[in-house]
Amino acid sequence: MQGENAASGSKFLATPAKGEVSALLLRPEGARSLLVFAHGAGAGMRHRFMAATSARLAAVGIATFRYQFPYMEAGSRRPDPRATLLATVRAAVAAATDLVPDLPLLAGGKSMGGRMTSLAAAEAPLAGVRGLVFFGFPLHAAGRPSTERADHIAAVRLPMLFLQGERDQLADLALLRPICARLGERATLRVVPAADHGFHVLKRSGRSEDAVLAELAGEVAAWSAGLD
Read off the pLDDT of residues 44-95 as tens digits, 9 standing for 90 and up: 999 999 999 999 999 999 999 999 999 999 999 999 999 999 999 999 999 9
Read off the pLDDT of residues 174-216 as tens digits, 9 standing for 90 and up: 999 999 999 999 999 999 999 999 999 988 888 888 999 999 9
Considering the entire predicted model, what is its pTM?
0.94
The answer to whether the beta carbons of residues 227 and 159 sit under 8 Å apart is: yes
Write down the pLDDT at residue 8.
Answer: 83
Write down the pLDDT at residue 5.
Answer: 45
* CATH architecture of the domain formed by 8-225: 3-Layer(aba) Sandwich (3.40)
Write down the pLDDT at residue 88.
Answer: 98
Read off the pLDDT of residues 114-127 as tens digits, 9 standing for 90 and up: 999 999 999 999 99
